Amino acid sequence: MACSFNGRGNRMKGDFMSNFLLVEELESFAILIRHAERGSIPSLTHGTDVLLTEKGKQDAQLFGSRLRDMAIGCTYSSPVPRCLQTIHSILDGYGKSDVPVIQSTTLGAPGIYIEDSDLAGRYFLDWGTTATVQRYIETGELEGFKPLISTSKAFLSQICTDLSAFNQNLIYVSHDAVLIPFISYFNDEYFDYKKWLTFLDGAIVARGRDTVSIIRDGKKREIAGGAV
């Protein structure tokens, strides 16, 4: 089941498909990934309309083809076009056109961690995404953002609710600014300029009867009190 393909023009961090080896038989899971490779974002813009490259579309299709042996019941996507392109390309590779795609502002535009888009947006324009997200994670709060800890827990709760509602496995396609705070908090992981979340990388949330775990880079970490 293992795979290896490129993200930001480099080898993808880790081997995402090997993470599924850690999902137990009675667990359902949610795949949380960043969108596929996009074009360059123009300076002093949020780049909302920047679309996937052709390579990004091909990588997403390949990602989907390697999920064919898994039962995916529903997918969620940020409304931002490159995320929708990503999930549709994944489903093309998966080979089943009847899997629902639900757009969710939890995953972007603005994303679950944003309280005030105008205030938060100034940080992204002035500091850039990396510095803004780093500062938010370090302090747990930033003007225009919701509190990191309670919001991360709310995000996890929503994922668990979705898993219970569908009783099937799910895919979420989002952005680095949404997934990195979540992964950083629950996986105690540090991100900076040298180590960032590459395209089509992320984590798996696995839900058992009494446990919830996060799986990333071939390691499984049970979330204390996570079975919400």
pLDDT digits (tens, 9 = 90+) for 149-170: 999 999 999 999 999 988 889 9
> Pairing state of beta strands 212-216 and 219-222?
antiparallel
Angstrom CA distances, 33 to 133, 140, 216, stand at 17, 22, 11
Q: Are the CB atoms for 8 and 37 separated by under 8 Å?
A: yes
Q: What is the pLDDT of residue 162?
A: 95
Alpha-carbon distance 158 to 69, whole Å?
Answer: 26
pLDDT at 43: 84
Q: What is the pLDDT of residue 226?
A: 64
Model confidence pLDDT, tens digit, residues 204-223: 999 998 999 999 999 999 99
pTM for this predicted structure: 0.91
Q: What b/e readout covers 90-112, taking b as 16+ CB neighbours within 10 angstroms?
A: bbebbeeeebeeebbebbbbbbb
List 28's β-bridge partners, or say none. 207
Right CATH number for 28-222 from 3.40.50.720, 3.40.50.1240, 3.10.110.10, 3.40.50.300?
3.40.50.1240
Q: Give the SS3 label for residue 220.
A: strand
> What does the pLDDT read at residue 15?
83
Half-sphere exposure of 202 (CA within 13 A, CB side): 22
CA distance 132 to 126: 9
Candidates 41, 33, 39; CA nearest to 14 is: 33
Tell me phi and psi for residue 102, to 5 degrees. Answer: -110, 125
Confidence at residue 47, expressed as pLDDT on a 0 to 100 scale: 85
Residues of the chain with pLDDT under 70: 1-14, 226-228
Per-residue pLDDT, 45: 86
Rounded-to-integer distance, Cα 169 and Cα 225, Å: 21
C-alpha count within 13 angstroms, C-beta hemisphere, residue 218: 6
Whose tokens are 């996890």? That residue is: 156
